[in-house]
Structure 1
Amino acid sequence: MNYRTHIASSLAEVGQAAWDALAASQERPNPFLSFAFLHALHESGSASRATGWDPHYVCLYDGETLAAALPLYLKWHSYGEYVFDWAWADAYRRHGLEYYPKLLSAIPFTPVAGPRLLARDAHARAALIEALLAMQDALQASSTHVLYPPPEHTALLQDAGFMLRSGVQFHWLNRGYRDFEQFLSSLDRKKAKNIRAERRRVAEAGIEMQRIRGADASDEDWRFFHACYVATYRAHHSTPYLNLDFFRRIGRDMPGNILLVLARRAGRPIAASLVIYGSDALYGRYWGALEYVPALHFEAAYYQPLEFCIEQGIPVFEGGAQGEHKMARGFLPTRTWSAHRLAHPAFADAVERFLAREAGGIDSYLDELTERTPFRS
C-alpha cells in the first residue's frame, strides 16, 4: 500500500479527532499523547520553533484516513529530554562537525514511556519507520533519537538500524491496597516509620493538604501553581520550560487527567504539586514551594498522589526521571529505553561501543537496586 506522507508543523493540520483516535487505538496510550497536551505545548510556545523544538510530525495517510503518525521535532539543543547526549554533541563539536539540528521523537519535557510509532497496523508502522529514516537522510540531520518507546517497539527500531540505550526509573505498584496504612504495613518497618514521621512533621507544622481535580481548579490555583513551578527552577538556577498559558490550556482542555495538590498554612497556599493521570497510571510531574517546610515535598508530591491512586484504583504511579530516594517510599526500579541512529559511521561505531559499556553498568545497577527492596520479606 502506498501512503501519502505529510509533515505537519502543527497538530491543527492533523485535527483533534483524527489524532486522538489514532493515539487512543495504541496499546498502553497515556494522556501525554493526547492532542490537548501536545497542542498546548506548541500553542503556548513552550515547545516551538522559537524554543528549539521545531515540530515535524510525520503523518501517513491512506486516502483521507490517518494511518500512522510520529511526534517528531527538529531540535537545536538537548534540553528537556532526560536522555542525555551532551557528550555526543561535544564530541562532534571537538571534531569540527555539527550535531545540531537533530531529529527527536519524544513528548517534550516528559520522561514517560509510551507509544511513539503510532499506527493502525504493523504495515503502517513499518512504513512510518521507513519515512523517518528517509526524513533524516533528506534533512541531513546528524542523528535521530526516539525516547521512551515501549519495549515492543524497540526491536522494530533496532532492526531499522537504531542503537538501543536503557535507563532506570522508579515506579510504585498498587497491590490492591485498601488504604495508605495497609500500604505502609507492606513496607520494611523502618521505612514505614520514617514515612509516618514525615507526614506527622508536616501536620504539626500546621499544614493542610487539598486535592483539586482539574475541573475544579480556578485560574487563581493555576497562577499560584505556576509561581511554585518557577520557584523550583530558580532555586536550581535554571530557566523554566513551561509557561502559565500551557498550564491554563491543559487545565481547560484535559481536566479529567489533572490533579493539583495544594498545601496551605493558616488558609494561605504555600506549595503545590501537579500530577497527570489516566485509568492505567498516574504520573508525577511538577512541584514547587514558596516557603520551606521539612518533608512537605514528600507529602505533596508522593504521599498525597499515592493516596489518590489507592482511592481511585490506579495501578501504577510513575515517579518521573531519576530519584533513587523514591525506593524508600515504595517505588521500585524499572528499565526504560531509547533508540538512536547516528548518520556519521565513525561516531556511530564509537557510540555503539559506549552504549555496550553503559548497558553493563545499567544491568549491574538494576541488580543492586532489586536486592534493596523496600518491602517486607
Structure 2
Amino acid sequence: MDQAQIEVQVLDSLSHIAAAEWDNCACPETADGGRPYDPFTTHRFLSALEDSGSVGPGTGWQPQYLTAYLDGLLVGAAPLYAKSHSQGEYIFDHNWAHAYERAGGHYYPKLQMAVPFTPATGRRFLVRPGYETIGQSALVQGAVQLAAKHGVSSLHVTFCTEDEAKAGEQMGLLHRVTQQFHWCNDSYADFSEFLSALSSRKRKTLRKEREQANRFGGHVSILSGEELKPEHWDAFWTFYQDTGSRKWGSPYLTREFFHIAHNSMADDMVLVLAERNGRPVAGALNFIGRDTLFGRYWGCIEHHPFLHFELCYYRAIDLAIAHGLKRVEAGAQGEHKLARGYLPTQTHSLHWVADPGFSDAVARYLEAEREAVGEEIELLTAYGPFHKAQVEEHQ
C-alpha cells in the first residue's frame, strides 16, 4: 500500500476518540470476550490517568496520542506524551540527559511512547489486525516527524514487545535491552509444587518467610470486581502515598485515579489486603492480563517481617497458579525477587535521538549495555533458587 494513503493525527485527549475505536487497535484480542493481553493501553486505563489529572498539565506528561487512518479507518494508535523530565518511566536515561546538556543541548522536552508510571511490557504500536506493517511504519514515522517538527531532543518507546523492538530497529530506531524479574508458571498445581522445583535450602527459606509473614496478627483478603469497595481505596491511597513519598518524593497517581479505576476497571484489578485488629495495614494492587498478573503498587502503615514478600510476590504466585496465568510481572528492579523464584527477563525499548553525533554515542553505549545485560541475566539465572535442571530449561 502507498504510505501516502495514511493520515497521522495527534490528539491531546482520548476524549476525542471513541473507546471502542481505540480498543480495536489496543486490544483486538478481546473480540473473543476474553481479557486484553494487558489492560494498560486500553482506552479505560489511559483515560483514567488523564481524567484523574495524573497526566496532563503540571505533571510533565502531556498527552500527544498518535492515530493513523487509512481511508478513514483507524489502523494504528499509540500512547505518546511530551515529557519535561524522566520520572515515572523506569527505563533510565538520566545519564543521557546530563551528557546532552553538558554538551550544550536541551534534553527536555522529549517524546515518550509509553504507559505512564507502568513498567510492564506490552504493545506500544497499537495496530488493527491485518495492518501490522503499514500501521507500525506510520506510527514510527509519525512520531519521528512530530519530534523533528517540534525540535525535541529524542523519542523513546519504552517497554515495547520484543517483536516491536526488532521491527523498530529495522526502521532505524536504536534498540535497548534492560531487565526485570518475572515469575513463570511451569503448569504448577499449587504453591507446594512450585516449591518442589526449588533447591532444598531455598524451599525452606520461602516456607519460613511465608509462615512468619502470616503471623502478623491479622488476615489477608483477595478482592476484585464487586468485592472492591470505596473504603478499600481509601485505605490503599494511604498506603500508596507512603510508598510514593519515600520512592519518588510525591505520588505519581492522584486519589481521583483510584476512584475512576474503581468505576471503570474493577474487573481488571486484584487487591491483596492485610487487616489487623479491624484495620487495613498493608496492601498490594495487581492488574490482570490475559495470561499475566501485573504487580503494580504496594504500601503499608505497619511493618511486619516478610509481609511485603507475602502480599506482593507469594500471593501473586498463588493467584497466577489458581487462574492458570503464565507469568507474574512484579514491576521494575529488585534483585531480592530472584530468591523468591522471579527470574531475570529481558525488557526492550526503542530510541531516536535528533543529534547525529549523540545518536552515534548512544548506539555504542547500547551495544555494550546489551552485552552486559545478557551476561548478568545468565549469571543471575545460574544463581537463582531453582534446581539445576530448571535453570538449564529456562536458559
**SS across alignment from 1:167:** strand
Q: Are positions 1:63 and 2:58 aligned together?
A: no
Question: How big is the shift at 1:25?
Answer: 2.3
Partner of 2:392: none
Question: How big is the shift at 1:315?
Answer: 1.1
Q: Distance in 2 between matches of 1:349 and 1:177?
A: 46
Tell me if the contact between 2:214 and 2:307 (Cα under 8 Å) persists in the aligned partners: no
**SS across alignment from 1:361:** helix
Tell me if the contact between 1:215 and 1:251 (Cα under 8 Å) persists in the aligned partners: no
Q: Distance in 2 between matches of 1:318 and 1:215?
A: 24
Tell me if the contact between 1:264 and 1:270 (Cα under 8 Å) persists in the aligned partners: yes
Of residues 47, 54, 59, the one that matches 1:51 is: 59
Tell me if the contact between 2:184 and 2:327 (Cα under 8 Å) persists in the aligned partners: yes
- 1:228-377 map, 5 Å: 228-236=239-247, 238-377=249-388
Q: Are positions 1:87 and 2:115 aligned together?
A: no
Q: Distance in 2 between matches of 1:237 and 1:171?
A: 23
Tell me if the contact between 2:8 and 2:139 (Cα under 8 Å) persists in the aligned partners: no
Residue-by-residue CA offset, 1:302-340 (whole Å, 9 max, x unaligned): 111211111111111011111111111111111011111
Q: Are positions 1:75 and 2:86 aligned together?
A: no
Of residues 35, 43, 47, the one that matches 2:43 is: 35
Partner of 1:201: 212
**SS across alignment from 1:33:** coil
- Give the counterpart letter for 1:200 in structure 2: E
Residue-by-residue CA offset, 1:81-111 (whole Å, 9 max, x unaligned): 0011111111122222111110110000001
Q: Are positions 1:8 and 2:11 aligned together?
A: yes
Question: How big is the shift at 1:70?
Answer: 1.2
Tell me if the contact between 2:212 and 2:305 (Cα under 8 Å) persists in the aligned partners: yes
Structure 1 moving runs of 4+ over 6 Å: none
Tell me if the contact between 1:26 and 1:118 (Cα under 8 Å) persists in the aligned partners: no
Question: How big is the shift at 1:204?
Answer: 2.4
Question: How big is the shift at 1:237?
Answer: 6.4
In the superposition, the TM-score normalised over structure 2's length comes to 0.92
Query: How many residue pairs get matched?
Result: 377
Residue-by-residue CA offset, 1:219-243 (whole Å, 9 max, x unaligned): 1100100100111123346211011
- Give the counterpart letter for 1:232 in structure 2: T
Question: How big is the shift at 1:273?
Answer: 0.8
Tell me if the contact between 2:212 and 2:306 (Cα under 8 Å) persists in the aligned partners: yes
Question: How big is the shift at 1:205?
Answer: 2.7
Q: Distance in 1 between matches of 2:202 and 2:335?
A: 14
Tell me if the contact between 1:57 and 1:71 (Cα under 8 Å) persists in the aligned partners: yes
Question: How big is the shift at 1:193?
Answer: 1.0
Of residues 192, 195, 204, the one that matches 1:184 is: 195
Of residues 14, 19, 23, the one that matches 2:22 is: 19
- 1:92-241 map, 5 Å: 92-120=100-128, 121=131, 122-236=133-247, 238-241=249-252
Question: How big is the shift at 1:63?
Answer: 3.5
- Give the counterpart letter for 2:127 in structure 1: A
Tell me if the contact between 1:214 and 1:260 (Cα under 8 Å) persists in the aligned partners: no
Consecutive unaligned residues in structure 2, runs of 5 or more: 31-35, 389-395
Q: Percent identity among equivalent residues?
A: 40
Partner of 2:391: none
Moved more, 72-81 or 349-358: 349-358
Question: How big is the shift at 1:124?
Answer: 2.3
Tell me if the contact between 1:49 and 1:55 (Cα under 8 Å) persists in the aligned partners: no
Q: Distance in 1 between matches of 2:74 and 2:289?
A: 24
Residue-by-residue CA offset, 1:29-74 (whole Å, 9 max, x unaligned): 3111111111001111111132010111110112332111111011
Q: 1:26 to 1:313 in 2, by over 3 A?
A: closer
**SS across alignment from 1:32:** coil
Tell me if the contact between 1:26 and 1:115 (Cα under 8 Å) persists in the aligned partners: no
Q: Distance in 1 between matches of 2:328 and 2:257?
A: 23
**SS across alignment from 1:347:** helix
Consecutive unaligned residues in structure 1, runs of 5 or more: none
Tell me if the contact between 1:26 and 1:119 (Cα under 8 Å) persists in the aligned partners: no
Q: 1:251 to 1:174 in 2, by over 3 A?
A: same
**SS across alignment from 2:155:** strand
In the superposition, the TM-score normalised over structure 1's length comes to 0.96
CA RMSD of aligned residues (A): 1.5
